[in-house]
């Protein structure tokens, strides 16, 4: 049984109070029923000497508390009854009331004297009146009101109240059982009600002999009609059934009538409001004639619209997850390709840069060299686009107002778009002072890519290209599930066109690298994949909506910056010269040779090696000789991080620059713990290398 109950729940306290009041009038002894929490449920005939005097003074109350403690401790030890004579000379007794093993309350009788008051006892009470400051006359009068009973009378009363307490307990047990029975009845009724609600189904009864159909009231409710608002007939299956579901429903009903299989289909019926609801229909033949031809079939209809909607949302989420996983895999592949390509680009850009700096300006082949250098830089930008898609490119972010980038892009496009394409920009006033943390060049690249795509979509027909900027407090629901950012507020940039739109079969592939539907020479297939990578790298999200021949709209969401001031971009600095001994390690022969020449041009003494173990040997031989170690991360025998750790075991203060073409291979926190002073990403620019060396060596 349930143990969470109190005496008031299972005993009629008012009736018990009336009984104890009558009992008090017969015996003249105070009676009280007190629960274990100290609440007085019934109190009759309390002696004034206790209530008005002894329990009103702190010192005398301590003696009363001694009595209370005695009773409590004795009953807790399992005694059914206790008696106690307090230091004042008054006696009271107590019987416990226990129901189902739970101590609920105590039945008290008292206070009384077990012997007549002697002169000495009265004198002691006179002294107590003076000691505690009681009104002596009233105090002695209250004393004389206390009944005096014999020990025999006390025992008889105690025996009676022991039985009486047990009777209260039995009554409580009966009340508890009744309460449990009532609860079980209520629970059973509730279970039945919930069960019927849970399995509430529409019932149909098809009389094939008369070709009539009966629907229960719930069938009408499912379709939004009042009971019997329709005159259902077998033809109603086809009249209300969704065109795409009619064939399977008719086929399944025919199979049921032929008794080949029970009817079991999920289909849509048109509701009164014109919408369709999903139903699960079941049925079977229950009556046949002497030749076993079907005469009657019955079945049920259950509304499964919610589960169908949940299934649709689940499929959508799974599709989004597969898309995200595919994009992640493609990003990893693209990052690997970019890493290898960086090693090829490094020497091309580095050597041409050195030659252009040293050769006189009037040499005839200086211009071809410049063209080679520019082609290398364009290739480097292509690699950066791939790395942006794969989230591996280093970016320089500042606090900026996105409307400034939008205006730059609009001005650039305005001078190149034909007159058949109008260009608009809409910027909310409320968002003009809201900033984002972004790489200005990358954001410019995204907006320009989208504008260029819009131009190609409207090149033949003309149309309108619009850039909008507004505040989006939170991301749309369809983006939240697969977005890993935690910003509270976002700024939304909308780029829309009225062009030819994107076919539904291509909409899920547009962010894949190298996927394009443009004619040869009009696109590399990297524009949207790059944009996707840049926005995700900035902690944002991107959403596209398109309809063929109606146009396309891209929604870009960037986290709103918490900074209040916009940072200014620093101007590009020229390479700086320096001095010192550099130990350079890279397993690529061309990069090693080129880097040696570059470092010498910058003024440094260089020792090169293509082996990490050999570099460690050089450091072990002369740990104090080198001023700085520059090492590639991806090495055959020992990674750059491992080399740095072992080098620091020989010389803890040795500065280290780590080079990598694969950003995801290096964790900045781990690099800092390993004592890496700077991480440079390939292909390494001469200016960047010179600045890094100067900054580290002049500390």
296, 205 Cβ separation under 8 angstroms: yes
257, 206 Cβ separation under 8 angstroms: no
pLDDT at residue 169 in the model: 85
Final residue in a domain of this structure, among 303, 318, 350: 303
- Termini Cα distance of the chain: 79
Sign of CA dihedral 566, 571, 575, 580: negative
Q: What angle do CA 27, 32, 34 make, to 5 degrees?
A: 160
* 62 found inside a domain: yes
Calculate what percentage of the chain has a pLDDT beyond 70: 82
Closest CA to 327 of 522, 536, 505, 556: 536
569/399 Cα distance (integer angstroms) = 10
CATH code assigned at 232: 3.30.450.20
Q: What is the pLDDT of residues 240-280, one digit of tens each?
A: 899 999 999 999 999 999 999 999 999 999 998 889 999 99
- CA-to-CA separations, 160 to 14, 163, 632, in angstroms, rounded: 21, 5, 98
427/410 Cα distance (integer angstroms) = 12
Domain count, the chain: 5
* 570 found inside a domain: no
Q: What is the pLDDT of residues 628-645, one digit of tens each?
A: 999 998 888 899 999 999
- CA-to-CA separations, 660 to 336, 492, 556, 639, 674, in angstroms, rounded: 12, 34, 31, 11, 16
Q: What is the pLDDT of residues 91-144, one digit of tens each?
A: 999 999 888 888 889 999 988 999 998 888 889 899 988 899 999 999 999 999
Pairing between β-strand 605-609 and β-strand 581-585 as defined by DSSP bridges = parallel
Q: What is the pLDDT of residues 361-370, one digit of tens each?
A: 667 666 777 7
Final residue in a domain of this structure, among 148, 179, 210: 179
pLDDT at residue 584 in the model: 95
Band of the pLDDT at 568, cuts 50, 70, 90? Answer: very low
- Residues ≥6 apart with Cβ < 8 Å to 463: 420, 421, 422, 457, 497, 498, 499, 551
Closest CA to 658 of 694, 698, 625, 629: 629
Mean pLDDT score across all residues of the chain: 82
CA-CA-CA-CA dihedral for 241, 245, 246, 248, to nearest 10: -140
* 184 found inside a domain: no
* 625 found inside a domain: yes
pLDDT at residue 478 in the model: 61
Residue 97 forms beta bridges with which residues?
105
Same domain, yes or no: 294 and 347: no
Same domain, yes or no: 107 and 207: no
CATH code assigned at 671: 3.40.50.2300
- Residues ≥6 apart with Cβ < 8 Å to 647: 615, 616, 619, 629, 654, 656
Same domain, yes or no: 43 and 18: yes
Final residue in a domain of this structure, among 559, 591, 611: 559
Same domain, yes or no: 20 and 163: yes
Closest CA to 108 of 142, 172, 64, 57: 64
Segments forming the whole domain that contains residue 482? 398-559
Same domain, yes or no: 164 and 77: yes
Residue 373 CB-half CA count within 13 A: 15
Band of the pLDDT at 663, cuts 50, 70, 90? Answer: low
Band of the pLDDT at 290, cuts 50, 70, 90? Answer: confident
* 651 found inside a domain: yes
Residue 213 forms beta bridges with which residues?
206
Same domain, yes or no: 104 and 215: no
Same domain, yes or no: 162 and 47: yes
- Residues ≥6 apart with Cβ < 8 Å to 336: 662
Same domain, yes or no: 594 and 683: yes
- Residues ≥6 apart with Cβ < 8 Å to 20: 31, 33, 42, 44
Same domain, yes or no: 136 and 244: no
pTM of the model: 0.36
Same domain, yes or no: 266 and 229: yes
Closest CA to 296 of 213, 231, 228: 213
Same domain, yes or no: 612 and 646: yes
Q: Say yes or no to pLDDT of 192 above 60.
A: no
Same domain, yes or no: 405 and 378: no
């Amino acid at each position: 049984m349930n143990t969470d109950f109190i005496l008031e729940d299972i005993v009629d306290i008012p009736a018990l109070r009336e009984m104890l009041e009558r009992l008090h009038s017969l015996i003249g002894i105070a009676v009280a029923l007190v629960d274990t929490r100290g609440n007085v449920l019934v109190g009759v005939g309390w002696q004034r000497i206790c209530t008005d005097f002894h329990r009103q003074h702190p010192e005398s109350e301590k003696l009363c508390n001694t009595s209370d403690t005695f009773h409590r401790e004795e009953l807790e030890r399992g005694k059914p009854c206790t008696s106690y004579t307090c230091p004042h000379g008054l006696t009271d007794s107590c019987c416990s009331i226990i129901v189902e093993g739970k101590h609920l309350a105590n039945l008290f009788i008292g206070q009384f004297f077990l012997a007549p008051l002697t002169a000495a006892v009265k004198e002691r009470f006179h002294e107590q009146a003076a000691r505690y400051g009681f009104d002596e006359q009233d105090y002695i009068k209250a004393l004389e009101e206390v009944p005096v009973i014999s020990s025999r009378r006390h025992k008889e009363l105690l025996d009676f109240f022991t039985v009486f307490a047990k009777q209260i307990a039995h009554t409580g047990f009966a009340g508890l059982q009744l309460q449990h029975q009532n609860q079980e009845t209520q629970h059973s009724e509730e279970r039945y009600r919930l069960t019927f609600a849970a399995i509430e189904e529409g019932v149909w009864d098809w009389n094939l002999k008369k070709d009539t159909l009966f629907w229960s009231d719930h069938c009408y409710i499912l379709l939004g009609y009042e009971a019997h608002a329709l005159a259902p007939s077998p033809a109603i299956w086809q009249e209300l059934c969704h065109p795409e579901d009619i064939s399977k429903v008719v086929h399944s009903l025919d199979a049921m009538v032929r008794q080949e299989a029970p009817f079991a289909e999920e289909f849509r019926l048109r509701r009164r409001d014109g919408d369709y609801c999903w139903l699960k229909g079941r049925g079977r033949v229950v009556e046949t004639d002497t030749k076993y031809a079907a005469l009657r079939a019955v079945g049920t209809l259950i509304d499964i619209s919610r589960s169908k909607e949940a299934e649709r949302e689940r499929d959508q989420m799974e599709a989004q997850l597969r898309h995200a996983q595919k994009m992640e895999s493609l990003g990893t592949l693209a990052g690997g390709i970019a890493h290898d390509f960086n090693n090829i680009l490094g020497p091309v850009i580095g050597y041409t840069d050195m030659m252009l700096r040293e050769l006189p300006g009037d040499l005839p082949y200086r211009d071809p060299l410049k063209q080679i250098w520019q082609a290398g830089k364009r290739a480097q930008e292509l690699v950066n686009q791939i790395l942006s898609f794969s989230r591996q490119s280093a970016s320089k972010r500042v606090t900026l107002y996105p409307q400034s980038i939008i205006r730059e892009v609009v001005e650039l496009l305005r001078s190149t778009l034909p007159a058949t394409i109008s260009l608009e920009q809409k910027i909310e006033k409320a968002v003009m002072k809201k900033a984002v943390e972004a790489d200005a060049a990358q954001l410019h690249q995204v907006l320009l890519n989208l504008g260029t795509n819009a131009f190609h979509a409207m090149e033949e027909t003309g149309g309108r290209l619009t850039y909008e900027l507004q505040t989006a407090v939170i991301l749309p629901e369809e983006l939240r599930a697969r977005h890993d950012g935690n910003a509270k507020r976002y700024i939304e940039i909308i780029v829309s066109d009225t062009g030819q739109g994107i076919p539904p079969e291509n909409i899920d592939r547009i962010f894949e690298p190298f996927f394009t539907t443009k004619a040869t020479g009009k696109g590399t297939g990297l524009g949207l994949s790059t944009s996707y990578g840049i926005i995700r790298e900035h902690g944002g999200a991107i959403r596209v909506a398109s309809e063929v021949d109606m146009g396309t709209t891209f929604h870009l969401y960037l986290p709103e910056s918490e900074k209040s001031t916009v940072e200014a971009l620093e101007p590009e600095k020229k390479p700086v010269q320096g001095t010192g001994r550099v130990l350079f390690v890279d397993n690529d022969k061309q990069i090693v040779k080129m880097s040696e020449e570059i470092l010498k041009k910058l003024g440094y003494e260089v020792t090169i090696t293509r082996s990490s173990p050999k570099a460690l040997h050089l450091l072990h031989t002369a740990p104090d000789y080198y001023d700085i170690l520059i090492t590639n991360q991806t090495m055959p025998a020992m990674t750059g991080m491992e080399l740095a750790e072992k080098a620091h075991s020989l010389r803890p203060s040795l500065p280290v620059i780590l080079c990598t073409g694969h950003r995801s291979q290096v964790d900045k926190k781990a690099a800092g713990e390993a004592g890496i002073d700077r991480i440079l990403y390939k292909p390494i620019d001469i200016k960047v290398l010179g600045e890094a060396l100067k900054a580290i060596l002049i500390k």
